[in-house]
Structure 1
């Protein structure tokens, strides 16, 4: 899991350096009455230079819009766009839409990647095509710079995933992602219900366990968070993020020695200097 940011309020115990696929909303996953206080924030996203998907040649703002992309990725993107724009028939354009979407994805422009994957999915049909489009929109959703943008991209992701789930209701990854898009809406309980359905179908589902753990922790239900993360690391002992947040949750319950042991375990699991610095800071708080 290389990139995981899901919409959640960033609280003091959550360190920016170790945000991986985190929900960014505060939700009590046990008490529906507390859902009225749900608030959503997001981390910045460099949107496409053509937010309206008027995908012509690269314009003067492209360098700024694609600050995370390498020159090679930008060249690949420009080439793919030129080929797509020159395509003279729908069959060729639909085929090249996938190539262009892949180039946008490599350049971390996931909203545009979703747009072109969607073109291909609508032309081709098929579970895998819609899943690919949904995944791209979902990734863009996790980086949304505003609540309005998150709502828009979350809705796009749900639309693609609904096509997947219509034919394959057991596609739990799609169902989990749909759940997390609902967490950022005015109806977060719908998302929590879906996550629980995933756990009911697959008690060892790592993504659902992780997200429920984060939601429990953000509502300061540290005991429930400990339960979720302990289950997660029992399923996958190498889950770095799960181990880190298990340590955070243990600290939240006052189990300092157990938290220290988990934080030290994290240091042995990752060579990421930012993560290890964050762990050291957390350990300092416990001493």
Structure 2
């Protein structure tokens, strides 16, 4: 788990916020000239370009971190893929190049643009795989949205793609889990929670659903339930670092200090992430 991921979830738990994802800006270059200029300098947050069909403007400066930049090689790959896409004349060829362009955007961590072009490909090709690619890209962008408005927009796009996936394959529990988490960030979070419970009913050992239910329990202050979820998760996967960390947090919040200390110390031996180690030390200092 990255430092920013740990911090954002811890802050969300403390504030019981509705959105608990890392802010992120997605950048598109407006034309080949901009791509060429960027070959020697890193990209800067600009939001979507109009030629992508959905111009969103710049996000808050606080979100303009390393995630918002692309390497010169990535920018060149984007320029090449975009040139192919723009030159395509028939729908099938354009869909194929839309997928290539989407993949290039995904590689550059510009997930909303990746979702946009995967969606174009999916609308032409159809099929579970195409819609799943679009849904996953939009979900990544949603997960890093810097504002509630942006999260709502991207969550809605992800939902529409995942709904197409589930029409083709109702047993895709990963798609259902992601779909659930987009609902959690809306004014109807219970719909998301019910979907997560459906996933658990179908697969009691589903790690992703257990983790998300644990986090949601913590956000609502239901630490006893969080303990149960994370304990189950770690039983399923003893090497789940994040699950072990949040299990320890939940135990600490329920007054089980000694058990929490033991787990926090275990976490320190499971990961070399300095941010995680710092978070563990902070909790241990409070418990000692």
Q: TM-score, normalised by structure 1?
A: 0.83
Matches within 5 A, 1:66-215: 67-215=68-216
CA offset at residue 182 of structure 1? 0.5
Matches within 5 A, 1:18-33: 18=6
CA offset at residue 68 of structure 1? 3.1
Distance verdict in 2 for CA 1:17–1:202, change over 3 Å: closer
- Structure 2 CA distance for aligned equivalents of residues 125 and 24 of structure 1: 40
RMSD of Structure 2 on Structure 1 (CA):
2.4
Partner of 1:46: 25
Unaligned runs of 5+ in 1: 4-14, 27-36
Partner of 1:63: 43
- Structure 2 CA distance for aligned equivalents of residues 158 and 129 of structure 1: 14
Partner of 2:223: 222
Partner of 1:245: 246
- Structure 2 CA distance for aligned equivalents of residues 258 and 236 of structure 1: 18
- Across the two proteins, how many residue pairs are aligned to each other? 260
Q: TM-score, normalised by structure 2?
A: 0.83
CA offset at residue 38 of structure 1? 6.7
Distance verdict in 2 for CA 1:24–1:130, change over 3 Å: farther
- Structure 1 CA distance for aligned equivalents of residues 18 and 279 of structure 2: 25
CA offset at residue 71 of structure 1? 2.2
- Structure 1 CA distance for aligned equivalents of residues 23 and 75 of structure 2: 21
CA offset at residue 88 of structure 1? 2.9
- Structure 1 CA distance for aligned equivalents of residues 172 and 138 of structure 2: 17
Unaligned runs of 5+ in 2: 46-66
Distance verdict in 2 for CA 1:278–1:224, change over 3 Å: same
- Structure 2 CA distance for aligned equivalents of residues 153 and 165 of structure 1: 18
- Structure 1 CA distance for aligned equivalents of residues 7 and 127 of structure 2: 33
Any runs of at least 4 consecutive aligned residues in structure 1 with deviations exceeding 4 A, and if so which?
Answer: 22-26
Higher relative helix content: 2
- Structure 2 CA distance for aligned equivalents of residues 107 and 206 of structure 1: 28
CA offset at residue 160 of structure 1? 0.5
Partner of 2:56: none
1:173 match: secondary structure? helix
Distance verdict in 2 for CA 1:25–1:244, change over 3 Å: closer
- Structure 2 CA distance for aligned equivalents of residues 19 and 159 of structure 1: 30
